[in-house]
Amino acid sequence: MRKFIGYSSWTIVLITAVLPSAGADWPQFLGPQRDNSTLEVVRPWKGSLTPVWRASLGPGHSSPVVARGIVYAFYEPAGKNADALAAFEARTGKRLWENSYERAEFKPLFGSGPRSTPLVHQGRVYTYGATGILACWDAQEGRLLWKVDTLADFQAKNLFFGVSTSPLIVDNDKLVVMVGGVNAGIVAFDPQTGRTVWKATQEPASYSSPIVAKGQLIFLGGAHLLGLSPQGELLWRYPFEGRVGGLVESSTTPLYSQDLLIGSTITSGSVALRLVQRGPQWQAEKVWENKSLTCYFSTPVAVGEYLYMVNGTTSLLNPSITLRCVELKSGRVLWERKDVGRYHAALLRCGPPGEERLLMLDDNGYLTLVQPNPKEYKELARSKVCGPTWAHPALVDGHLYLRDEQELLCLRLP
């Protein structure tokens, strides 16, 4: 059900996969290129990292995003069946505005509130709530411009843990999300109005988010890895799912690096595909598969010829995750560091080529700086910085913005 609330005219530009500059905004899930990377340099620190500021938030696993000196957080207002978006001054933490809309009650396991991360683009913020409401907000004033109830409009059932895929803007005029509806597995909307541009596939939804690679929209759906043209044409698909007890659990965002597409799930492990065009047809050819590289919802990071990934299981008894270094071209494990968290750790690649370091924020609230090295695990610094968290941090101008179950925090990194 689309509700149009009015908007100012504006121009959309394509989000392109160009190398971000140091100090670039962090306007969407996993950063400017949606690959966990930034050119910002992070140096080892000693002792603790004291927050520059902190602000209280309601429940949610949605990650903070940063654009034009403003931090945006998406959450459930305390005691309400609603989704709220708030804006904070990045330098001071001053709350600039907060707005919300009511929605149906939804209390899944592992915490209520939104899972999807907002997208900031050309003066607007786009959010996708756990009950399937896609919304557009004015980035400066917080006015709600339009919203769409995707589950109702496209006859889709919600996932067990709630809608989690983060929106993506492509080709100047399409806001794309997974829906999992009837003939509407994936839907593109007009970013200005919320009207449907196209709908495609019968692919069941997953918790993963899409990326752009080789001019395609690439998704890890509920049953396949698949690629679509920006016009919604299905180009290829590869059977690959993560199910636990009949429930779709696929959550990891695909990664494209060194001409390989990496997909990971919690039950099927990881697979590397090469996308090949033969005439008008695209094919996804398997290069390697490693069923032991099971990822829950931590997206791997590529550094040169190597992958760094957080692997785990769905065990509810003594859950534990392992950081591994994997040869990108073969899927061979080179080393591992066990017990780096319980279910999840976010990885972030920092620095220019040849000078990269990895920041890892685990779900126990520890921030670790690691020197990428295919021969061994090399830890440079580690500090407790927040409470339990499943959200991904954002790094902008030497400041790390993160959230735990109760607060939004800003840390100054050396």
**In Å, how far are 15, 309, 404 from 396, measured between CA atoms?**
18, 23, 18
Q: Please count the other Cβ atoms lying within 10 Å of the Cβ belonging to residue 169.
A: 25
Of 368, 361, 343, 372, the C-alpha closest to 401 is 361
Gap between the Cα atoms of 298 and 199, Å rounded = 28
For residues 117-132, one letter each, b for 16 or more C-beta atoms within 10 angstroms of the residue's C-beta and e for the rest, the string is: bbbbbeebbbbbbbbb
> How many Å apart are CA 207 and CA 394, to the nearest integer?
20
**Which of 199, 200, 126 shows the shortest CA–CA distance to 165?**
126
Q: What is the pLDDT of residues 320-350, one digit of tens each?
A: 999 999 999 999 999 999 999 999 999 999 9
What is the pLDDT at residue 23? 55
Per-residue model confidence (pLDDT) at position 244: 81
Q: Which residue has the tokens 């918790």?
A: 207
Residue of 223, 273, 224 whose CA lies nearest to 246 = 223
Radius of gyration from C-alpha coordinates of the chain: 20
Q: Please report the pLDDT score of residue 37 as a whole number.
A: 96
- Domain boundaries 299-389, CATH class: mainly beta
Cβ contact 173:12 at 8 Å: yes
pTM for the whole structure = 0.93
Amino acid at 307: L
- Where exactly are the structural domains of the chain? 299-389
Beta bridge partners of 182: none
What is the per-residue pLDDT for 9? Answer: 29
Strand order in the sheet with 399-403: 51-56, 407-412, 399-403, 394-396
**What is the rounded CA–CA span in Å between residue 313 and residue 156?**
28
What per-residue confidence (pLDDT) applies to 11?
28
pLDDT at 6: 36
Residues (pLDDT < 50) of the chain are 3-22
> 163-178, pLDDT tens digit by residue?
999 999 998 899 999 9
